[in-house]
Amino acid sequence: MLAFIHAALVAAAAGIYSVARAQTDCDRFFTVQAGDDCNAISAAQNVSTFQLALVNPQIDPLCDNLFVGEQLCLGITGQDCETVHVVQAGDSCTSIADAAGISVSTLLSNNLNVNPICTNIGIGEVLCTANVTIPYDVTSA
Ligand SMILES: *[C@@H]1O[C@H](CO)[C@@H](O)[C@H](O)[C@H]1NC(C)=O
Ligand SMILES: *[C@@H]1O[C@H](CO)[C@@H](O)[C@H](O)[C@H]1NC(C)=O
């Protein structure tokens, strides 16, 4: 029982730590408005689907727990991709990379939610198309 409580406290403290850290190092903030969803926010604010989820671990995987007035961080300083492409019907990683003038490997390195054969991108998803590899700290996610 004590071990369980200890583990829960450690987990809670870790959660608070990661949020506080994200807010401290935040490059861009955004306040959720009525009707917003993750893809709409990402497309309007030039933040990739992957980055928005990475920086805001409190958002659930279906993005159905946003609330009006919630403050999101859109990118961590030094790990903030602001060059993006919104996936359209018919897009492939090759076509997106070609249009952005980058390699598919750079595209994949900046969108770690996309599988290596690029079969899991969806219309409306926002991809980072930066021409450099963003040094995402994925261990803190
Ligand atoms: C998003 O990027 C486009 C293209 O670079 C730019 O025109 C637009 O102002 C950017 N929007 C925001 C909110 O940064
Ligand atoms: C990379 O993109 C930036 C900003 O979009 C641009 O200024 C720079 O020239 C590009 N670098 C290369 C090597 O294409």
- CATH assignment of 84-128, given 3.10.20.740, 3.40.50.2000, 3.10.350.10, 3.40.50.300? 3.10.350.10
CATH code, 2-76: 3.10.350.10
The pLDDT value recorded for residue 137 is 86
Chain centre distance of CA 101: 22
Q: Which long-range contacts (CB under 8 A, 24 or more apart) does 16-19 make?
A: 18/57, 18/140, 19/58
Q: Mean pLDDT throughout 76-85? A: 97
Note the pLDDT tens digit of each residue in 83-124. Answer: 999 999 999 999 999 999 999 999 999 999 999 999 999 999
Q: Do residues 65 and 59 make contact, with C-beta atoms less than 8 angstroms apart?
A: yes
Ligand 2 atom index nearest CA of 132: 1
Give, using CA atoms, the residue closest to atom 10 of ligand 2: 131
User: Which residue owns the Cα nearest ligand 2 atom 14?
Assistant: 131
Could you check whether 2-76 and 84-128 share the same CATH topology?
yes
Ligand 2 centre from 130 Cα, in Å? 8
- CA separation, residue 4 to residues 10, 11, 13, 34, 106 (Å): 10, 10, 14, 39, 42
pLDDT at 11 over 70: no
Q: Where are the domains of the chain?
A: 2-76, 84-128
- Distance from residue 48's CA to the centre of ligand 1 (Å): 13
Q: How far is the CA of 103 from the centre of ligand 1 (A)?
A: 22
Sign of CA dihedral 85, 97, 134, 65: positive
* Lining residues, ligand 2, CB within 6 Å: 83, 131
Residue by residue, DSSP assigns 48-59 as -HHHHHHH-TTS
Give the ligand whose atoms come closest to the C-alpha of residue 102: 2
**Closest ligand to Cα 129:** 2
The pLDDT tens digits of the residues spanning 22-57 come to: 567 999 999 999 999 999 999 999 999 999 999 999
